Amino acid sequence: MTYNLDDFRRFFSADAFAALAGVQIDSVSDERVVCSMEIAPKHRNALGGVQGGAVFTLADSAFAVHSNLSLIEDGGAPPTVGQSCAVSYLRPSRGTVLYAE
């Protein structure tokens, strides 16, 4: 099932931190959610790489959208939050846009 993207964008616009980071919701379906973030100077660490917190924020945002499909679509479901999460940074980020799926 594909959902109304505008409903998700409207709901998650209240996520001030993700909005400040520049996270965008690109697509939403039962199978996957895709979020993106255009890399800007504010996302860079002292070495010039993408700050791990920026990567984590993007991944956490995609997780939040997918975890709450029924909340947004049905309105009556309770919200879902993560209890624990880990990100392994295997290599530096490349390019000008990051995607989380």
> How confident is the model over 8-33, as pLDDT tens digits?
999 999 999 999 999 999 999 999 99
Checking if the pLDDT of 37 tops 80, the result is yes
Please state the pTM of the whole predicted model: 0.90
Q: What mean pLDDT, rounded, does the chain reach?
A: 92
Q: Is 30 exposed, middle or buried (0-12, 13-18, 19+ CB in 10 A)?
A: exposed
Among residues 50, 59, 51, 54, the alpha carbon closest in space to that of 87 is found at: 59
Which residue has better confidence, 50 or 71? 50
DSSP element (H, E) containing 28: strand 23-28
Residue at 33: amino acid letter: V
Checking if the pLDDT of 48 tops 90, the result is yes
pLDDT recorded at residue 1: 73
What is the rounded CA–CA span in Å between residue 87 and residue 50? 14
